[in-house]
Amino acid sequence: MTTTVTPPDAKPATQGPKRPRRPKSARAGGTLHGGPIAYAILIVFTLVSLFPLVWTAIAASRDNQRLAQTPPPFWFGSGLFDKLEIAWNDANLGEAFFNTTIVAGTSALTIVFLSTIAGFAFAKLRFRGRGALMLIVIGTMMVPPQLSVIPLYMMVAKLDWTDQLQAVILPSLVSAFGVFFMRQYLIQALPDEIIEAARVDGASSWRVVWHVVFPAARPAMAVLGMLTFVQTWNDFMWPFLVLTQMGNPTVQVAVAGLGRGYTPDQSLIMAGALLGTLPLLLVFAIFGKQIVGGIMQGAVKG
């Protein structure tokens, strides 16, 4: 499998000034302007994308009597902030946010660091076994996480780590995707001449990493960090197995727990779901452009 990275701002081939006019159909892809139909389709998809999120807030702002009527509510009621407060306290969300921040932060920082140095080695250093090891990295992306759940659970039980955050953090530190992503980025973004120059100046490998690789990789490190953070924040199965709601829940475990009573309070559940999603949506609203660019850079191509 040969792979390349899209240049950060891949533009269609620029056309020289003296080029003859081509028929309109020739200007396919990036240079064709979207018509009304394109906008209409995009707007419909955007509404479908955003509607469940907006409706979470609407449902959280209504009481249960109103939710159990037809037609369902389409606009906000007055109870949003009360419900958010109750959900916050009931689900112990303050602690859950704190736990999840620690879990997601630790694994994002570690994965970014380890993936960058490993990705650098795979991208730019020559060593025996490189091809085989890289194949193993790609292969590990195929191993389903459910295979590891049972022995990891046994390990955690044996170490008495149930309900402890390290039980969630440690298995989340392996990211074959991260290594692969950084390798793809560094192949292009790091000119060999700079490494050679640093070498000639007598820099050791660690100095090269510190003074050359890290600065060059900073944009990709930021994107990988954000993607990892989002993924760990949203992770459900493993935290659900090792953490209980009573001790150190992550946000996902706490939110899922809101729906588990005998007479579940629907609007309270929606308030919890909204609170669990809000921080990441804010991150996306602020860094959306960079994250989108990052996903597009890391995409696999032939």
Partner 1 sequence: MATRHDTTASPVKGGAAPGRPPEDAAAEKERRRREGLSRRWQRDIRWSPYAFVSPFFLLFVAFGLFPLIYTGWASLHQVELTAPTDMNWVGLRNYTRIFDDEFFWNAAKNTLTIGIISTVPQLLMAMGIAHILNYKLRASTFFRVAMLAPYATSIAAASLVFVLLFGRDYGMINWGLDAVGINPVDWQNDKWPSQFAVSTIIIWRWTGYNALIYLAAMQAIPQDLYESAALDGANRWQQFIHVTLPALRPTILFTVVVSTIGASQVFGEPLLFDANKGTSGGAEHQFQTLGLYLYEQGWVAQHLGRASAIAWTMFLILIVIGIVNYVISRRLRASS
User: Comparing C-alpha atoms, which of 43, 72, 69 is closest to residue 58?
Assistant: 72
* Structural contact between residues 182 and 116, judged by C-beta atoms closer than 8 angstroms: yes
* Structural contact between residues 68 and 264, judged by C-beta atoms closer than 8 angstroms: no
If one asks whether residue 233 binds partner 1 (CB under 8 A), the answer comes out as: yes
Among 154, 159, 210, 215, contact with partner 1 (rule: CB under 8 A): 154
CA distances in angstroms from 89 to 8, 99, 268, 279, listed in the order given = 44, 15, 11, 17
Contacts of partner 1 in 241-270 (CB under 8 A): 241, 251-252, 255-256, 258-260, 266, 269-270
The residue among 125 and 218 lying less far from partner 1, judged by its C-beta, is: 125
d(CA 137, CA 129): 12
In sequence order, what E strands does 80-234 have? none
Among 36, 146, 160, 263, contact with partner 1 (rule: CB under 8 A): 146
Among positive and negative, which fits the CA dihedral 275, 252, 245, 262? Answer: positive
The residue among 1 and 78 lying less far from partner 1, judged by its C-beta, is: 1
If one asks whether residue 1 binds partner 1 (CB under 8 A), the answer comes out as: yes
Computed over its alpha carbons, how large is the radius of gyration of the chain? Answer: 24
Q: What is the DSSP letter of 22?
A: P
DSSP string for residues in 57-70: HHHHTS-HHHHTSS
Least separation in angstroms between CB 15 and partner 1: 8
Among 68, 94, 159, 166, contact with partner 1 (rule: CB under 8 A): 68
User: Comparing C-alpha atoms, which of 240, 211, 220 is closest to residue 291?
Assistant: 220
N residues, the chain: 302
Q: Which stretch binds partner 1 (CB under 8 A): 77-85, 88-96, 214-222, 236-244?
A: 236-244
* Structural contact between residues 280 and 230, judged by C-beta atoms closer than 8 angstroms: yes
Contacts of partner 1 in 188-217 (CB under 8 A): 192, 195-196, 199-200, 204-206, 209
Least separation in angstroms between CB 18 and partner 1: 16
If one asks whether residue 222 binds partner 1 (CB under 8 A), the answer comes out as: no
d(CA 60, CA 266): 8
| x/- track of binding to partner 1 for residues 73-112 (CB under 8 A) | ----------------------------------------
If one asks whether residue 159 binds partner 1 (CB under 8 A), the answer comes out as: no
Among 86, 102, 174, 222, contact with partner 1 (rule: CB under 8 A): 174
If one asks whether residue 151 binds partner 1 (CB under 8 A), the answer comes out as: yes
Least separation in angstroms between CB 141 and partner 1: 8
Q: Which stretch binds partner 1 (CB under 8 A): 77-85, 90-98, 160-168, 281-289?
A: 281-289
